[in-house]
Structures are given as C-alpha cells and as structure tokens.
Amino acid sequence: MGWSIHQPVGLIHYSPSLSYRGYTLFSTNRGKHATLIDMEGRICHRWTSDEGIGYAYLLPNGNLLCRTGPETETDIVNGLGGSSSALLELDWEGNVVWSYRNPLLHHDFERLPNGNTLVLLWDAMSKEFSSRVKGGYESEDDPDEMLGDNIEEITPDGTSVYKWRSEDHFDLDEDVVCPLENRREWGHGNSLNVTPDGDFVVSYRRTNTVGIVDKATGAFKWKWGPNEIAHQHNPTHLDNGNILIFDNGAHGRGNGASRIVEVNIESNEIVWQFAGSPPPSFYSFNISSAQRLPNGNTLICEGAPGRMFEVSSNKNIVWEYINPFFVLDPRSNGNANATFRAHRYGPEHPALQGKNLDPKNYETLNHLYAPGVG
C-alpha cells in the first residue's frame, strides 16, 4: 500500500451489515503490547510485556500466548527476521503463567489440545550438508553451517517429546533457495498450523513452498508453490480442506504485488483469490496473514504497512483499519507499524467469555487513537 504523510491511521472503513462482528487482536513488530480492538477501532483490552510481544493469539481459556522480541545474544540468529528469545503465556491481567526460553525460537507456535506446544526452531546443519543446498547468492560472509528448520513438541515443563527436521525431508533438487536470498538459511519457515488430523501445515519463504507434513511419518503429504507463489506467509487449513495463503509476491515476477489465494490441494488449482486494484495497491514484502472468517469473509493483515482489512467473498472491502502504534525499527532507523499477523474473534469465542471488554477502560488511549468514535 502506498503511504502519504497525510495517511490516516485507526479505523478507515466499517460496513456493519457486511462484516463479521468481533474483536481483532494484533501487535506491532518490536513493540511491547498486544491490542484487542472492537469493530469501531476502540481498544477493549491490552497486554504488555517488557520482553516485547512480536506476535500473539488467544487461547480458549482467555490467556495470551505470545513470542517475545528478537534474540540478540546468539550470533547464528542475530538479525534474522522472526527471531524471538521466548514464548510467554500471559493471563488476562498480563501476568506470566508459563514460559519457554530458547534462543533458536522463531516465527510461529501452536498450543495443542494435550497441553503441549509446537514450536519452530532453527537448527544448524553440518558444513558438508550445507554445501549441498542449492541456490542463494554467495558472499564472503556465508556461514559454514546453514540453518535448517525444526518443529518440536514441548511439554509444559519444556521437555521436547517430538522433533521434525527439514533437512531430513527437503529435496535438494526441488527445494532451492531463491537467488535473491543469502545462504544463512535454507527454508526460513514462517508458519506452523495443525490440520484436524494433527498434521502440520508449513510454509518456507526462501523456497516458495507450502506443504502438509504427516506428523507420524514426517513425510510431505502435499507440497506446492514454486512458480505459483513468492515468499508467502500464513497458510491455514480451511473447513473445506483447501489451504488459504498470503502470497506476498516478494522476489516474484513482474511488479511487486501481494494476493490471497485459496488452493484446492487435490487439484492444485487456485479456486479463489483476492488482489489489489490496481495490483500494487496491495503489497507487503514480508510478514502478513489471512484468516477465513465464519461468515465467509477473509480478514487480511497487510503486514509491512500495518494495514488490516476484511473482504467479502465477492472481494469488497467491508472493514479497514491501520495500526496506529509505531515503534522505532533499528533496521530502517525510523518508526514503523509493521504487524506480523491479525486475528478476529467473535463475541462467542471461549477466550472472551466473562471478560471486561468495555472500551471506556482505555478512554485515554481511545481518545488518541480512535478519535471521533464511540
């Protein structure tokens, strides 16, 4: 999305009769807050962590599961996008009730019904194996050991009871690093979701690959993406069996533009998509998400410019909001409102039952960030 110094932030548009009414959760990259707003853009609840909140979602019990700010003291991951030093579970009042600390944590996580937590972890591959990985541009700073991706299942006490390694299941001839990326990482996993069968929906940005991994065998049950999508994020499994994907379009062919695609995994056909009009009006080089809502609409987080909007199945924008919370981004030496993902929760969601969501609790902030509303 193009920016202007006169670009408004906060609520931009809302069509009540066409939207899925609920509460939207988001956080600012490198910020310290997770914010829950209503459809009018008013803050209804907020969590704070001095360790940072890079990304968060609500658990059914109303707690917030989040990853902290980036790891800065481990050289092999320093400066990598999506890096986090810990996972925290915060109660409604912001108290830490559980934590898992690992400097190799990155991007995504999933709390399982058995109480364990799936996490994405980087893992250094051997020098010999790294030399066999194809693609990427070479430089004098290339490490001897590239980073692969692990999926691990962690018990509440931090014990690992399951491990999946990308290097054991990637194909050296098929999974080729984008030529515009360096050789610090092979896949750069940026998403981890679980199907109703307990398998993993995964995304690897550097190889333009989305897949479903059989948890029992570790093998890919479905794999798709190269020459179809470019540096994608947030594939999710829909009730109809299709996969919804935020196709960033970064390092792709033609002018930079993003889109949302719904893919039938039986035919590998794109059965629905949303793009900007004109196409460059919707573009996020990195991060971002798409959530299919119960009424058939789709909530989209255009991450880099901090824009969140809801589109109907016939592709009309029915709700639009721009993250008004900016933080200093040391990579650009300027302020940014980049948003990794956004989630919408209906009023009936278990996490919100019995909770105080009165925006008057945040009257001062709402006066600053939701002027003229309420």
pTM: 0.97
pLDDT at 4 over 90: no
pLDDT band at residue 8 under the 50/70/90 scheme: confident
Structural domains of the chain in order of their starting residue, each with its CATH number: 18-369 (2.130.10.10)
Of 323, 328, 289, nearest in space to 27 by CA: 323
pLDDT of residue 2: 64
The answer to whether residues 301 and 286 touch, using CB atoms and an 8 Å cutoff, is: no
pLDDT in tens, 202-217: 999 999 999 999 999 9
pLDDT in tens, 332-366: 778 999 999 999 999 999 999 999 999 999 999 99
pLDDT of residue 1: 60
Q: What is the CA radius of gyration of the chain?
A: 20
Mean pLDDT, range 103-115, rounded to an integer: 98
pLDDT at 63 over 70: yes
pLDDT of residue 374: 41
pLDDT at 142 over 80: yes
For residues 291 and 141, the model is more confident at 291
How do strand 298-302 and strand 307-311 relate by DSSP bridges?
Answer: antiparallel
Mean pLDDT, range 165-184, rounded to an integer: 98
Report the share of the chain in percent with pLDDT over 90. Answer: 92
pLDDT of residue 334: 85
DSSP state of 178: -
- Helix extents (H) in 74-149: 127-130
pLDDT of residue 372: 58
- In this structure, is the dihedral angle defined by the CA atoms of residues 53, 34, 4 and 248, taken in order, positive or negative? positive
pLDDT of residue 309: 98
pLDDT at 331 over 90: no
pLDDT at 31 over 80: yes
Q: What distance in Å separates the CA atoms of residue 145 and residue 343, rounded to the nearest whole number?
A: 36
pLDDT at 224 over 80: yes
pLDDT of residue 255: 77
Report the share of the chain in percent with pLDDT over 70. Answer: 98
pLDDT of residue 89: 98
- Helix extents (H) in the chain: 127-130, 363-369
Mean pLDDT, range 39-56, rounded to an integer: 98
pLDDT of residue 96: 98
Mean pLDDT, range 172-181, rounded to an integer: 98
For residues 7 and 312, the model is more confident at 312
Phi, psi of 109 (to 5 degrees): -165, 160
Buried b / exposed e along 234-249 (16+ C-beta atoms within 10 A)? bbbbeeeebbbbbbbb
pLDDT band at residue 6 under the 50/70/90 scheme: confident
